[in-house]
Structure 1
Amino acid sequence: MRGPLFYAKILLFGEYGIIKDSKGLAIPYNSYRGALKAAKNLSGEAEKSNNCLVKFYNYLVGLDTDLVSFNLSEFKEDLENGLYFDSSIPQGYGVGSSGALVASIYDKYANDKITVLENLTRDKLLKLKGIFSLMESFFHGKSSGLDPLNSYLSLPILINSKTNIEPAGIPSQKEGKGAVFLLDSEQVGETEPMVSIFMNKMKNEGFRKMLNEEFAFHTDACIEDFLRGNVKSLFGNVKKLSKVVLANFKPMIPTSFHKVWEQGIQTNDYYLKLCGSGGGGYILGFTEDFEKAKKKLKDYRLELVYRF
């Protein structure tokens, strides 16, 4: 067997904010992908994946919900026949490795599944997000369900609030000098501990005030600029967001990147922000001159995501 491909995702804007009901914008990232496969003799990564899927199967068996049901007997049989998730999506890098896996399991085994070809009303999108949130909680302890939703639909998604999400049309790429890029921290980040740090910080009134008045404000402005193609204004707002993140989310930024982050803000050669929950993995970069940013960040591996 070979299942359909499910792609990685990048949350361009809204990390942490979407937990607290502010805006977010996620886009598919087709450089990395995964698909369900089966093999008689499993070894290495395939065997590890099969073992993980067995645990996931047991989790789904115990799931008490009216939102979704699965063909668990088929899932079990496939697991016994060597089912695994063959993926190039790096784990712990903030680009949705578990999201793509969840999307593939829903696609293959969910009963009465909502398909991509349907007229995707807001209610259907919210139902899918709710299902994916339940499923992906197995991996992260708490999940918004957004990563699997993005991977499943393979569409840019605009999160206005927890109860208001919609597919978004993003401006087509230009052959300009500006770019969005990924910077490889060469460290694996884990979502759960980072979310725990965030939840602890939320107990602090000053942090909550900052999140509502600065972080969410700049995030919303960035999303609006990006969707409207207001590039000049976008970079001004990304710079403000980068400053706020550096000042308030230091535990989520690997220590060795604090200086690199600061240099971008001071020189205006690039601006960095978290990609997913942080703590390692990829860091997201924005620059008005990608060639210049590459020279400044020559010690790091960069991947181009989007051109302005």
Structure 2
Amino acid sequence: MKNFPAKLLLFGEYGLMFGAKALAVPFPRYSGSLVKSCAKNVDEKSGQSAAELERFTAWLGEEGRNKQMNYPLDLGRLQQDVQAKLYFRSDVPLQYGVGSSGALCAALFDEYSNYVADGTKPLSDGAALLKQDFALLESYFHGRSSGLDPLVSFLDRPVLLENGRLSLPTLALDKLPWSMYLIDTKTTGATAPLVNLFLRKMEQPDFRKLFEQEYLPTNNRAVDAFLAQNETEYFANLQNITRFQLDHFAEMIPTDFVPTIRRLLGQNVLVKLLGSGGGGFLLAFVPRGVSVTLPEGSFQIFQA
């Protein structure tokens, strides 16, 4: 079956739920596909995936969830395949912020939904309906989902969300006037508990005011500067994002990496959360012409 890529949420973490601009891109370094097993016995990882798909299928059939979708899945066929030990073969790291559940939802939707792309209309025209369906599917894994991760994986295109509207910008990520790296924290971070923590923080008037009046506008300006490839404006806003996350998102940053982020900040090498944080990868941006030593296991992405 078809392979579906991981994704990187470059901007919009947490702010996406409150109207922030969000920019996410496919990340084909990692991917996954559904596999119909012919063997009676599968390895442990495949067996765990098969069991999870069985639970997911049962959940989707409850409370009329599948019927709520714009493009429902063929539950009968999915149930048959699940009973035959359907599993998701994937090298997307789990709880690393790169969309492991999004790739799975994209694969399930592609194989079992009744969606057919209308070749006479731009792909972006139907993206909002797809996003609604993906939000429902992925809510099984996270409790709450925007649907953006599986949408990016399914379309295999960059997706920009702005004022509730979706567009599919053309990005030459290998030609940006700065370089990008992933820093491996070598630990995992579960999305749902961190999202719940953030929502509790938003109940505090002082934090909510800071977030809405400082963080969201800065995030939006950073997205605009990224798309315009305005390096000066981009790094000015990105520095504010890094400082805000250090000061107010401490629970989302692995403690061992805080000194590293502060050290790099002094060199104008700016590090931010990738997705909900808590572990997994951190995203680092290095200005043109700057030489820097990053933690072991870091690697450059989207290089020419």
Distance 1:66 1:89, change over 3 A: closer
Rounded Cα–Cα distance in structure 2 between residues aligned with 1:66 and 1:98: 18
Supply the distance in 2 between the matched residues of 1:233 and 1:266 (Cα, whole angstroms): 18
1:152 to 151, 154, 163: 154
* 2:21 alignment partner, one of 8, 20, 23: 23
Aligned equivalents of 1:187 and 1:70: distance in 2? 34
Cα distance in structure 1, aligned partners of 2:98 and 2:105: 14
8 Å contact from structure 1 (residues 10, 275) kept in 2: yes
Q: Does 1:183 align with 2:183?
A: yes
Identity of aligned residues (%): 34
1:122-143 alpha-carbon deviations (Å, 9 max, x no partner): 5521111110000000000000
Q: 8 Å contact 1:179–1:304 — kept in the other structure?
A: yes
TM-score (norm: length of structure 1): 0.92
- Residues 307 and 234 of structure 1: is their aligned pair in 2 closer, same or farther, counting only changes over 3 Å? farther
1:173 alignment partner, SS class: helix
Question: Equivalents in 1 of 2:260, 2:61: separation in Å?
Answer: 46
Question: In structure 1, what is the Cα distance between the partners aligned to 2:96 and 2:282?
Answer: 9
Contact 2:69 2:133 in 1 (8 A): no
Q: Secondary structure at the match of 1:267?
A: coil
C-alpha distance in structure 2 between counterparts of 1:20 and 1:12, whole Å: 16
Alignment gaps of 5+ in structure 1: none
CA contact (8 A) 1:34 1:86 kept: yes
Residues 32 and 211 of structure 1: CA distance in aligned 2, closer, same or farther (over 3 Å): same
Q: Are 2:96 and 1:97 equivalent residues in the alignment?
A: no
CA distance in 1, matches of 2:173, 2:284: 19
Residue 68 of structure 1 and its aligned partner are, at CA, apart by 3.2
Question: Does structure 1 retain, via aligned residues, the 8 Å contact 2:187–2:279?
Answer: yes
CA offset at residue 233 of structure 1?
2.1
Structure 1 pair 198/121, CA: closer, same or farther in 2 (3 Å)? same
1:10 pairs with one of 8, 11, 17: 8
The offset of 1:69, in angstroms, is 1.8
Q: What secondary structure, in the 3-state scheme, does the structure 1 residue paired with 2:146 have?
A: coil
Residue 288 of structure 1, CA deviation: 1.4
The match for 1:174 is: 175
Q: Is the 8 A contact 2:173 2:302 kept in 1?
A: no
| Distance of aligned partners of 1:124 and 1:248 in 2 relative to their CA distance in 1, 3 Å threshold | same
Q: Secondary structure at the match of 2:93?
A: coil
| Range 64-73 or range 53-62, more displaced | 64-73
Q: Which stretches in structure 2 are left out of the alignment for 5+ residues? A: none
- Length, aligned pairs only: 299
SS for the counterpart of 2:136 is helix
The one-character-per-residue Cα deviations of 1:178-215 (angstroms, maximum 9, x if unpaired) are 31111000001000010011000000111111112211
**Residue type of the alignment partner of 1:160:** E
Q: Give the AA of the match of 1:304.
A: Q
1:109 deviates by 0.6
- Give the distance between the partners of 2:98 and 2:175, measured in 1 at CA: 23
2:271 matched residue in structure 1: 272
Distance 1:192 1:73 in 2: 29
RMSD value, Cα: 1.9
Q: Secondary structure at the match of 2:88?
A: strand
Distance change >3 Å, CA 221–CA 66, structure 1 → 2: closer
For residue 262 of structure 1, report the CA deviation from its aligned partner: 1.1
Of residues 182-191 and 203-212 in structure 1, the stretch that sits farther from structure 2 once superposed is 203-212
